[in-house]
Amino acid sequence: MHKEQIKAIIEGLLYVVGEEGITKEQLCAVVDILPLEIDSYIQELKEEYQSDEHGFEIVDYAEVYRFVSKTSIHPYVEKLFKMNKSNSLSSAAIETLAIIAYKEPITRVEIEEIRGVGCDLMLRKLQMRNLIKELGRSDAPGRPILYGVTKEFLDVFKLVSLKELPDLPNYDSLSDSENLFD
Amino acid sequence: MTFLVSIDKFAGPLDLMLHLIKEKELDLFDLDMDILINQYIEFLEAMDQFHLEIAGEYLSELAGLLEYKSRALLPNIKEKFVDEEEDPKEKLVRRLIEYQRFKDISSLLNERFDERNKQLSKALSFEFDDIIQDNDLSELKGNPYDLMKAMNRCLRHLALSQPLQTRNTVTEMTVEQVVEIIKANFGQNHKGFSLSELIEKCYDLDEVIISFLAVLELIKIQQLIYHINDAEEIWLKWSNSYA
């Protein structure tokens, strides 16, 4: 198969799967090429769509490839649909998610220790939204449940993997104290 | 001093303490516990005066602070701190710093979340629903949350399948206007008409309500006579006074 042909197939598949997206493994199996080969094709496609003449692009949050509209066209989407901003996370929810993402696997008590607030209900809410999941149980007394973040979490925060999380700010030394409360 | 910030604004006692430290321009690394504790107590008291509910977490931190303060007031017991694993002040500072780190990261994550919300995808082609259903028939396991998630998904698909209205014109009609419309539509009908006939002509709930109000008005001024038959259907007839 020609290179252009393979790219066209990948592009077509991405179109069909829509928001469900497709993994690299799936693409390889369907197109019948090796994972090492497919990277360059995807990369080329990605770059092509990145250019300003396109209104949507390819993202790979949570290692799932999908087409999404570009943020730059969003003002026009809002105009078209009169969007109501129903999709939001409270600051308490994001705080809890941040702690879990950086510290997973982590128990409820450990999260509460950092936040200074009971988190039982919050954890259930986040579980319901599929942003966190149970990773088993700790060996500590009472065998408490360990929590971690889901693929959905990665997608929602534009992360390919947890390795992409920005470093936690470091305030351990006095010299940083000035910019602590910017 | 007056407190302009309500307790609801804070994610918890640590958040509140960080706010007070910032407000009083205290140095977190050389924390003046006296000022912080007094501010904290003052704040809770003010909230109490406004009859705002204070969550248990705030009170439990308060207990810790008060313990620290009362111990500090008794010089002869001071050395007791040394025996403990960690100085309570150091522990608090460590917790505040740790909390601040996650707070800062949270605002960064929040930005990413907003950006992601502006990137929209198309739903999977509907032609595949059948295939996916057939495959899934065998395994019907899951907890109630899965069911809720699935339902949410269905609702989302449903919302997507309906053409979104891009324009929404709201026209408010007065009872008088509707009376005229009813007269125009049913005025010639001397045999009368049923209420459901009238309702069928309405586009939305607002119109149903206003039409019903118009009918009541016409009955009140005795231009319409009503009759309820055995099938509990409401029939309306123009009275003789209406020509």
Domain total in chain B: 2
Reduced to 3 DSSP states, what percent helix, strand and coil does chain A have, rounded to the nearest 5? 55, 15, 30
**Of B98, B117, B136, which residue is a domain's last?**
B117
Task: Read off the pLDDT of each residue in A12-21 and give the average, rounded to a whole number.
Answer: 91
Nearest CA in chain A to B61: A116
The H-or-E segment that residue B194 falls in is: strand B193-194
| Inter-residue long-range contacts of A139-146, CB under 8 Å, 24+ positions, other chains counted | A140/A107, A144/A107, A144/A108, A144/A109, A145/A107, A145/A108, A146/A104, A146/A105, A146/A106, A146/A107
Report the gap between the CA of A139 and the closest CA in chain B (Å).
24
**Of B117, B140, B164, which residue is a domain's last?**
B117
User: A84 in contact with B at a CB cutoff of 8 Å?
Assistant: no
Distance CA A180, CA B20 (A): 14
Task: Read off the pLDDT of each residue in A87-109 and give the average, rounded to a whole number.
Answer: 92
Task: Read off the pLDDT of each residue in A4-14 and give the average, rounded to a whole number.
Answer: 93
User: Is residue A149 assigned to a domain?
Assistant: yes
Which residues have a Cβ under 8 Å from the Cβ of A176 and sit 6 or more positions away? A170
**Of A29, A51, A81, which residue is a domain's last?**
A81
Distance CA B108, CA A177 (A): 20
Same domain as B26, residue B112: yes
User: Is residue A177 assigned to a domain?
Assistant: no
Q: How crowded is residue B142: how many other Cβ atoms within 10 Å of its Cβ?
A: 10
User: Is residue A163 assigned to a domain?
Assistant: yes
Report the gap between the CA of B72 and the closest CA in chain A (Å).
23
Amino acid identity for residue A56 in this structure: F
Res A124 pLDDT > 70: yes
User: Is residue B110 assigned to a domain?
Assistant: yes
Integer-rounded Cα radius of gyration of chain A: 21
Same domain as A158, residue A113: yes
Same domain as B113, residue B13: yes
User: Is residue A41 assigned to a domain?
Assistant: yes
Closest CA to A103 of B98, B28, B12: B98
pLDDT of residue A174: 45
Amino acid identity for residue A98 in this structure: A
Task: Provide the ipTM.
Answer: 0.87
User: Is residue A180 assigned to a domain?
Assistant: no
pLDDT of residue A175: 44
Same domain as A99, residue A51: no
Res A105 pLDDT > 80: yes
- Terminal C-alpha separation, chain A: 56
Residue B164 has its nearest CB partner, among A71, A81, A159, at A81
The answer to whether the CB atoms of B99 and A59 lie below 8 A apart is no
User: Is residue B166 assigned to a domain?
Assistant: no
Distance of CA B145 to the CA centre of its chain: 20
Closest CA to A136 of A119, A154, A148: A148
Tokens of B104: 């800062």
The H-or-E segment that residue B225 falls in is: strand B224-228
Range of the domain at B225: 175-238
Q: Judge contact between A160 and B93, C-beta under 8 A.
A: no
pLDDT of residue A102: 95
Nearest CA in chain B to A155: B116
Residue B57 has its nearest CB partner, among A66, A99, A116, at A116
Same domain as A77, residue A97: no
User: Is residue A34 assigned to a domain?
Assistant: yes
User: Is residue A64 assigned to a domain?
Assistant: yes
Amino acid identity for residue A180 in this structure: L
Same domain as A77, residue A17: yes
Higher-pLDDT residue of A102, B182: A102
Same domain as A97, residue A73: no
Nearest CA in chain A to B125: A16
Tokens of A34: 């090796």
Q: Judge contact between A98 and B106, C-beta under 8 A.
A: yes
**Of A81, A113, A145, which residue is a domain's last?**
A81
User: Is residue A182 assigned to a domain?
Assistant: no
User: Is residue B71 assigned to a domain?
Assistant: yes
Maximal CA-CA distance, chain B: 103
Same domain as A71, residue A97: no
Distance CA B28, CA A172 (A): 11
Distance CA A48, CA A57 (A): 9
Domain CATH number, residue A143 = 1.10.10.10
The answer to whether the CB atoms of A180 and B28 lie below 8 A apart is yes
User: A139 in contact with B at a CB cutoff of 8 Å?
Assistant: no
User: Is residue B43 assigned to a domain?
Assistant: yes
Same domain as A137, residue A108: yes
Distance CA A170, CA A47 (A): 35
User: Is residue B243 assigned to a domain?
Assistant: no
User: A50 in contact with B at a CB cutoff of 8 Å?
Assistant: no
What pLDDT digit, counting tens, does each position of A128-166 carry?
Answer: 999 999 999 999 889 999 999 999 999 999 999 999 998
Domain total in chain A: 2
Distance CA B140, CA A47 (A): 41
What pLDDT digit, counting tens, does each position of A36-50 carry?
Answer: 888 899 999 999 999
Is B143 in a helix, a strand, or coil? coil
Same domain as B99, residue B32: yes
Q: Judge contact between B223 and B208, C-beta under 8 A.
A: no
pTM here is 0.67
pLDDT of residue B113: 93
pLDDT of residue B142: 64
User: Is residue B39 assigned to a domain?
Assistant: yes
**Of B68, B99, B117, which residue is a domain's last?**
B117
Same domain as A57, residue A32: yes
Same domain as A95, residue A76: no
- Residues of chain B falling short of pLDDT 70: 1-6, 51-52, 75-86, 129-142, 157-171, 189-190, 241-243
CA dist list (Å): A90 to A93, A94, B161: 5, 6, 29
Q: In B, which residues are within 8 Å of A155 by CB distance?
A: 116
**Of A81, A100, A121, which residue is a domain's last?**
A81
What pLDDT digit, counting tens, does each position of A48-64 carry?
Answer: 999 999 999 999 999 99
Range of the domain at A106: 91-168
pLDDT of residue A176: 47
* Strand residue runs (E) in chain A: 22-23, 56-59, 64-69, 106-107, 132-137, 145-149
Domain CATH number, residue B183 = 1.10.10.580
Same domain as A157, residue A108: yes
